[in-house]
Structure 1
Amino acid sequence: MRTKGLSYGVNNDWNVTWLLMALVKKFPKDNWEEALTHKRLAQIQPDSKEFIKMKDFFQNLYLGKPSFNGQGLIDTAEKKMYTDAFFPRLKTFGVKMAVVTSRPADEALYTLKVVNGLVGEFIESEHFIISVGSQNSSGQLIAEKPSPEPILECIKRLSVGLNEGVYIGNSSSDYLAAREAGVDFIQVGSSRIERAKEPQGFHYFKLENVNRLVPF
């Protein structure tokens, strides 16, 4: 679903849910792959009442807003992929850090700032978090992955060159965004990513565990 449905922006649960509902309504399950490959479904309408309601439901579920008893999945179900020593160790190398995420701003900030405590100490400020709804210096919305735009915006904000940046991710959207931006990519985890049309000078690495990124 997340591989064949890339053109529909399946970077989050509400987009995937919308896509599943549309497929169930229009096609037998055996035809789903063909329908996605040949884009036989209309694009998502993010301003529609149905989509906004679906997105709000997931946001409430994650952030723990009523009617979910004030505690959400971010607090109760998300597990850190890194050890407590990972970011302090990375910081000793003088690495500049920024985040590109398909999460909306409220959810992204809550996760990075409140739950994980990364903003300020390891990520310099919220300026270096690009999420759904983020804008560039001209006030224009920054496209979501798999567009390379959010990664290029991160490179600009970090004031580094393309050959100095590395993007770490775990999905096909992450890979495509990095490849099109011309920024080296490190895949973490075992997700299936189809590699193709990599430009000269582009490097791809794969780690089963993000903690292997730095020596301890």
Structure 2
Amino acid sequence: MKKVFTSIMAAIMLLTMLSSTAFAATSDTVTNMNVFDILEQTSSYTTSQAANGSVVYTITDPDAIRKLSDEKDLPDMIELTYIPADEAVAISKDSEVSPQLFESYEIRNKKDHGDGWYNSTAHQVYEFYIDGPDTFQLDETKTYKASVNCSIKGAIDVISAGVGFEIGEEHQLHFQSTTPVAAGKRLHVEVFRTHHKVTFDLYEKPAGGNWKYVNNYEALKPNGTFIKKEFWNR
């Protein structure tokens, strides 16, 4: 990651990062969210094309900002950027195999929720507060695994086939942003990885037995990034 900071601003950054960590721990809005649902909360925005080809949504309407911001001191402007991966690059897949304790597994009631999903805590990659004059720069590639919140390893192949992507396979995501912060302004940046989400019910059948419901699970494939920027005039 590239950052352009003076030594003074670096010290300010450290203090504000500590305060932002405390904010994240006490926020009442930690939940699973969808980028597109957030954009649909308001029609009061303008759009522009970023250098990387993504669309930037700029929001200045106070009522819309109130819906989108968690800050007590509401920002003067919010920018939202969703960057879908052209095609997440498959790198490797876990090869560990566990003993098959049941004759077969089956997924039912599958629901494909589409792209843009993230958890505001678990999927946050970076958070920064920056006071101008300064410039925030981010240009980094990270690797994440497709996952499922199911610990039954013998069912992973069935789950992978059912949801349409390989659980345990690694994918690369590129995080890129450049934001000048003018004198007298403050910037709050939150960077998230986003996912294709599929939920389903898992059933198991012991040898010679009957099908039995196990639980409902969620599978996630990393395939995009979401950047939220809040600006204040100081």
TM-score (norm: length of structure 2): 0.23
- The structure richer in helix per residue is 1
